[in-house]
Homo-oligomer: A and B are copies of this chain.
């Protein structure tokens, strides 16, 4: 796979404007214009949230199949929840995305009060796949509208828990490290953006704590305090209780899209996202691409919609150059509207500089 003039294009989505595959296509087009001698290896990234399934299916191509199962969405109305089956060393593995069932961008779910929303449909989807013989799951959390936990719960009975789950390997993809409850819990941190009134946080957090106690006792396993239990309004906790293991969503996606294979022998990598700031330094897509690239000795540049000036010194340590979309003074609206062409233009300029240095060095 060694190719001294190949460029790995592995952006995350540009939220609000471009999906990761679309962003990757725009960047790749710019690279091709700026460095005609290069080949591109396109690996759209994701972090377990919305877009994860698309990124994985796009990268795995013909070795994957896409399906959809009708289940209850967050608000109760039926949604067609997509999933993928990818081949992992001969083992069919289902890639699910909570946002396919309970997306915060789903108007039908958001029309219902947060206390009435449920992630029940995701469980249905898992069961349907169990029925089809799937035993390996990778479930992306993130971008959910739900904050689970039943206020009227008095007791729980785990005897009806699907016995097939015992034979399952479940990977939970999430970048959330929050515990289920408390000051840093799901409700306190993520509740408000889902519609939990500030003055209701304490009460709902208490409900969730009681729910956790009851179900943990029933299942005979504890997880509420673990990092990530608070992901997706408590879905992290629920999946841990049935044996799921947390992994960085972006790391799992890097694995699924064979990022390391693409980086091997590559000349350069470009990643990016809608906005890069201090959050980017955590295990988001671009940070994961950067660490994998560095491990392979491949320089990696960042091309985002915007790069936060305060985070730039730190970002500068992780990336070989941080670039942003605008070609001059511009509004957010214009950047969002013209994202694809701006992205291609900026990538072209970056590639022109890279190619110039590459050719100069070789004395061509």
* Interface set of A (CB-CB < 8 Å, partner B): 34, 267-268, 275, 299, 301, 304-309, 312, 316, 319-332, 334-335, 341, 345-346, 348-362
Residues of B near A306 (CB, < 8 A) are 327-329
Residues of B near A267 (CB, < 8 A) are 357, 360
Do A357 and B352 contact each other (CB < 8 Å), given the known contacts A326-B324, A327-B312? Answer: no
- Ranked nearest first, the 5 interchain pairs of A and B with the lowest CB-CB distance are A306-B328, A299-B356, A361-B361, A357-B357, A321-B352
Do A329 and B335 contact each other (CB < 8 Å), given the known contacts A268-B356, A357-B299? Answer: yes
- A320 partner, pick from B301, B329, B353, beta carbons under 8 A: B353
Residues of B near A335 (CB, < 8 A) are 328-329
Distance (whole angstroms) from the CB of A317 to the closest CB of chain B: 11
Pick 12 A–B contacts, CB within 8 A, sort by A. A268-B356, A301-B353, A305-B328, A306-B329, A320-B352, A320-B353, A321-B351, A321-B352, A324-B327, A328-B335, A329-B334, A356-B357
Residues of B near A331 (CB, < 8 A) are 329
* Identity of the chain B residue whose Cβ is nearest the Cβ of A322 in the assembled complex: B349
Distance (whole angstroms) from the CB of A350 to the closest CB of chain B: 6
What's the number of copies of this chain in the assembled complex?
A: 2
Residues of B near A316 (CB, < 8 A) are 348-349, 352
Given A322-B345, A322-B349, A330-B330, output 16 extra A-B contacts at Cβ < 8 Å. A34-B321, A267-B360, A301-B349, A301-B356, A305-B328, A308-B328, A309-B341, A321-B348, A321-B356, A323-B323, A325-B328, A326-B328, A326-B330, A354-B357, A358-B360, A361-B362
Distance (whole angstroms) from the CB of A154 to the closest CB of chain B: 51
B354 to A354, Cβ gap below 8 A? Answer: yes
Residues of B near A358 (CB, < 8 A) are 357-358, 360-361
Distance (whole angstroms) from the CB of A325 to the closest CB of chain B: 7
Which of A34, A327, A328 gathers the greatest number of chain B CB atoms within 10 Å? A328
Residues of B near A301 (CB, < 8 A) are 349, 352-353, 356
* Identity of the chain B residue whose Cβ is nearest the Cβ of A352 in the assembled complex: B321
A349 to B328, Cβ gap below 8 A? Answer: no
B360 to A268, Cβ gap below 8 A? Answer: yes
Please, how many angstroms separate the alpha-carbon atoms of A352 and B316 in the complex? 9
* Identity of the chain B residue whose Cβ is nearest the Cβ of A350 in the assembled complex: B353
Residues of B near A352 (CB, < 8 A) are 301, 316, 319-321
Residues of B near A361 (CB, < 8 A) are 357-358, 361-362
Distance (whole angstroms) from the CB of A214 to the closest CB of chain B: 47
- A350 partner, pick from B321, B348, B359, beta carbons under 8 A: B321
B356 to A327, Cβ gap below 8 A? Answer: no
Please, how many angstroms separate the alpha-carbon atoms of A323 and B301 in the complex? 15
Residues of B near A359 (CB, < 8 A) are 299
